[in-house]
A and B are shown apart, each in its own frame.
Chain A
């Protein structure tokens, strides 16, 4: 049985996937459903390869990290197999941890250009109809559900200011009306006193009665 091989490349990055069709699933000849090996080749960097789980972890890490870079201030991604961190000079440090014991982790430094190339390679793999890889939802952060952040922004930008405005109008109207009431009672008492003080005749009349 001849192995199939597909290559996805973008500028400095190449992703090679090898495997076989799953005939029990009635796959066509040109489809890979059973991935036997994969390689991620980056110019001037060591080759990255591993098991299918490693590939899925790497894909998820890069999608999540791109999302963190764009929308979060915390530009670090950590998982069991891969860590990505942005250094102060803008360069990204990738630490690939081996699942084998006593194997030192592989550390790579990549620029933004290489990160973009890698994500574009994974996009090509994601869209490819020739490879059946269960990575649905991995790029959700960048493509589909942004409703969480939208709803948060909606709450803060659209609902909170009018609520504050309504509350402040209510508060100021209560304050004004209470001051107005105080003024009214003062005037009444003053007028009463004035009448008593100035109109001696009235008071006299009253006393006469």
Chain B
């Protein structure tokens, strides 16, 4: 989300307030701590995400993808027509890789594969496609099930 929305951090926090998730996600620091539960991060903390926190993050991702759908679609279209309009896709991939290299543990093999454009392009495309499929009214439920089934 942060790759597409340059001010993603603030947007996530604003959305959590708007969706009345203040009880679960009280502030930006708490959201950042939840993000650090990803074992691929440099700042990984062994915090287990609770079910209500997981649901809140799903809700926020769903709302964000709904709002960002025109951009998500444009990036997908750029990938589909890469020979004629590669700019958007290249820009997205460059920024995504830059964010991963900055925040993730670059010693890990998985992260090394992610920052290799030739190896990660299909994975990035798949992520965008999942977000693009989760913008309808029950998109949060679909997103949750897709994530649980991956």
Please indicate the chain A residues that have their CB under 8 angstroms from the CB of B130 in the complex: 70
B80 contact from A11, A91, A126, A144, Cβ within 8 A: A91
Known contacts A70-B130, A90-B80, A111-B81: does B149 contact A146 (CB below 8 Å)? yes
Does B23 touch A at the CB level, under 8 Å?
A: no
CA distance A90 to B142 in the complex (A): 23
Tell me which of B137, B141, B145, B149 has the highest count of chain A C-beta atoms within 10 A of its own C-beta: B149
Does A165 touch B at the CB level, under 8 Å?
A: no
Interface size band for B? 20 to 34
Does A112 touch B at the CB level, under 8 Å?
A: yes
A95 to chain B, nearest CB (A): 19
Partner-binding segment picked from B47-55, B71-79, B90-98: B71-79
B104 to chain A, nearest CB (A): 23
Residues B149 and A117 in contact, CB atoms below 8 Å apart: no
CA distance A119 to B142 in the complex (A): 13
Residues A11 and B73 in contact, CB atoms below 8 Å apart: yes
Please indicate the chain A residues that have their CB under 8 angstroms from the CB of B81 in the complex: 111
Does A27 touch B at the CB level, under 8 Å?
A: no
Does B7 touch A at the CB level, under 8 Å?
A: no
Residues A112 and B136 in contact, CB atoms below 8 Å apart: no
Residues B133 and A112 in contact, CB atoms below 8 Å apart: no
Does A143 touch B at the CB level, under 8 Å?
A: yes
Does B148 touch A at the CB level, under 8 Å?
A: yes
Q: Within residues 133 to 150 of chain B, which ones have a CB less than 8 A from any CB in chain A?
A: 133, 135-139, 141-142, 145-146, 148-150
CA distance A149 to B148 in the complex (A): 9
Does A98 touch B at the CB level, under 8 Å?
A: no
Please indicate the chain A residues that have their CB under 8 angstroms from the CB of B80 in the complex: 90-91, 111-114
B136 to chain A, nearest CB (A): 3
| Main SS class of interface, B | helix
Please indicate the chain B residues that have their CB under 8 angstroms from the CB of A70 in the complex: 126, 129-130, 146
Tell me which of A71, A111, A116, A144 has the highest count of chain B C-beta atoms within 10 A of its own C-beta: A116
Does B132 touch A at the CB level, under 8 Å?
A: yes
A94 to chain B, nearest CB (A): 14
Does A107 touch B at the CB level, under 8 Å?
A: no
Known contacts A146-B149, A150-B148: does B73 contact A117 (CB below 8 Å)? yes
CA distance A9 to B132 in the complex (A): 15
- CB-CB nearest in chain A for B139: A123
CA distance A203 to B136 in the complex (A): 97
CA distance A69 to B87 in the complex (A): 25
Residues B145 and A146 in contact, CB atoms below 8 Å apart: yes
Does B21 touch A at the CB level, under 8 Å?
A: no
Q: Within residues 101 to 142 of chain B, which ones have a CB less than 8 A from any CB in chain A?
A: 125-126, 128-130, 132-133, 135-139, 141-142
* Besides A139-B142, A146-B145, A146-B148, 18 new A-B residue pairs in contact (Cβ under 8 A), listed by A number: A11-B69, A70-B146, A71-B149, A90-B125, A112-B132, A113-B77, A116-B73, A116-B76, A116-B133, A119-B133, A120-B132, A120-B133, A123-B136, A127-B136, A142-B133, A142-B142, A142-B145, A143-B141
Between-chain CB contacts (< 8 Å), 18 pairs? A11-B69, A70-B129, A111-B79, A111-B81, A112-B128, A113-B73, A113-B77, A113-B80, A115-B129, A116-B73, A116-B76, A117-B73, A119-B133, A120-B135, A123-B137, A127-B138, A139-B142, A142-B145
